[in-house]
Amino acid sequence: MQESNKLEKIISLCKRRGFVFPGSEIYGGLAGTWDYGPLGLTLKNNIKNSWWKKFVEERDDMYGVDAAILMNAKVWEASGHVAGFSDPLVECKNCHKKFRADHISEGNTETGKLELPKECPECGKFGTWLPESKFNMMFKTNIGPVEDKSSVSYLRPETAQGMFVNFKNVIDSFHPHLPFGLAQIGKAFRNEISPRDFLFRAREFEQMEIEYFTRESEWKKIFENFRAEILKWLSDIGLGKGSVHELEVPAEDRAHYSKRTIDFEFDYPFGRKELLGLAYRTDFDLSAHINKSGADLLYYDEETKERFTPHCIEPSFGLDRAILAVLCEAYTEDELGGEARVFLKLKPSIAPVKVAVFPLLKNKPELVNKARKVFAELKKEIRPIVFDDNGNIGKRYRRQDEIGTPFCVTIDFDTLENDTVTVRDRDIGKQERYKISELESLIKKNIYGRK
Ligand code: GAP
């Protein structure tokens, strides 16, 4: 399959089958925004829940928060975002189209340096660039009815700051001992100059972030620990070792707050790109907020009687980029029974529909009634589950394949005789007979690894 076509096929499948729709579509859309439909939302929730379970619930050193998206503008002054959260912007003098300079620049073969193209990619005119400027990516808004400087606020460009400003609140209410972390899942907004590649670069997206606090002397050990945990979780959601790559980010490319960053990259159809980052943020953020707010954000160690500013390790996951990676990894074209088919080879644990139940024939009430019964019983324990009696059985299988449903249960005439059904495996299309009484534990074992 041509990689360039693959993204188009995934976008089309996502729209057709109710995973992801273009934002505000009936009004011509809104660039950089995407709406999740029923299946996309379930897939998203499954990925989110898996992350929360692994990085928060199963640990004893994590505290979840859900901070406001709108924050006092001083937060963003302290964090460095007002002064420095910008991308290089260039504008064509002729057609006035704006571009992110680093997205259209190419290496000069002689000097090796990045240079703007001689012709505008939009109108093709030669040598028309206005001088490069810096474009701050934060969405500005005003709080309350008066629109002046004092009412300016921003939609958060990262969830991280919501955790730094609540550091003291969590210390005061839970008295955690170092090392410990704060975790948050939530929306972030960036006024990207050129949103592109579907969910990869959007203007509104979701992050899953951890700010993990420790003594300076411990940061390397914790960094390595997260590095391993990240790879394990990526594998849990179906992103195998072969398609995830670690990139040690060189000092000149790191964010202003970072002393070490590893980008975990994924082989998207449009190239190997950042899926998530792991950064050592030092004590930059807590120190910046201490200086700006005057608040006491120091940690007091009762044993050693020391007071100090903890250092911070930050695993920062883009949820939408994870969803896109999962879809790209799962999208498969093959041939089954002599016919071409498309299926999503999703891990059963994150598939949006776990089981589909069919009566072999729609016009045989005894089959339909039995299938309804099996469906109702399974639904008590396994969800989401769907019932489908539309079209012929082959078409029903294909519909479920396309959304990644791992199991299809069919009620046929043998079922009426001996209470057995066929269970079809999505990946190989093979059907095997099982007793109805065995179904629940069989499916649960495959989906959740337990009966
Ligand atoms: N708190 C650190 C931070 O925000 P970042 O590298 O700017 O670091 C973290 O962003 C993650 O957020 C990225 O690795 C990516 O997964 C996701 N992300 C960033 N910009 C995005 C965008 N425009 N659209 C979708 N996801 C984005």
What is the pLDDT at residue 4? 67
Which residue CA neighbors atom 23 of ligand 1 most closely? 201
Nearest ligand 1 atom to alpha carbon 279: 2
Six-digit token pair at 290?
């201490």
Which residue CA neighbors atom 15 of ligand 1 most closely? 318
pTM of the model: 0.95
Report the alpha-carbon distance of residue 329 to residue 3 in Å, rounded.
Answer: 12
> Cα(269) to centroid of ligand 1, in Å?
19
What is the pLDDT at residue 367? 97
φ/ψ (deg, to 5) at 388: -140, 125
405 and 316 Cβ atoms separated by less than 8 Å: no
357-375 tens-digit pLDDT: 999 999 999 999 999 999 9
> Cα(321) to centroid of ligand 1, in Å?
9
153 and 72 Cβ atoms separated by less than 8 Å: yes
Note the helical H segments in 185-248. 219-236
Q: Report the pocket of ligand 1 as residue ranges, CB < 6 Å.
A: 158, 160, 190, 192, 201-202, 205, 207, 209, 274-277, 314, 316, 318, 320-321
What is the pLDDT at residue 1? 64
Q: In what order do the strands lie in the sheet with 98-100?
A: 98-100, 86-91, 133-136
CB neighbourhood size of 386 (10 A): 18
Which residue CA neighbors atom 27 of ligand 1 most closely? 318
Q: Which residues of the chain have pLDDT under 70?
A: 1-2, 4, 450-451
Which residue CA neighbors atom 18 of ligand 1 most closely? 318
104-147 tens-digit pLDDT: 988 887 777 788 998 999 999 987 899 999 999 999 999 999 99
Nearest ligand 1 atom to alpha carbon 207: 12
Report the alpha-carbon distance of residue 82 to residue 86 in Å, rounded.
Answer: 9
Burial of 58 (0-12, 13-18, 19+ CB in 10 A): exposed
Nearest ligand 1 atom to alpha carbon 209: 1
For residue 56, give every residue at least 6 positions away whose Cβ sits within 8 Å of its Cβ, in sequence order, or none.
Answer: 62, 64, 183
> Cα(203) to centroid of ligand 1, in Å?
11
Which residue CA neighbors atom 11 of ligand 1 most closely? 318
How many whole angstroms from its chain centre is CA 376?
33
Nearest ligand 1 atom to alpha carbon 160: 1
What is the pLDDT at residue 127? 78
For residue 173, give every residue at least 6 positions away whose Cβ sits within 8 Å of its Cβ, in sequence order, or none.
Answer: none
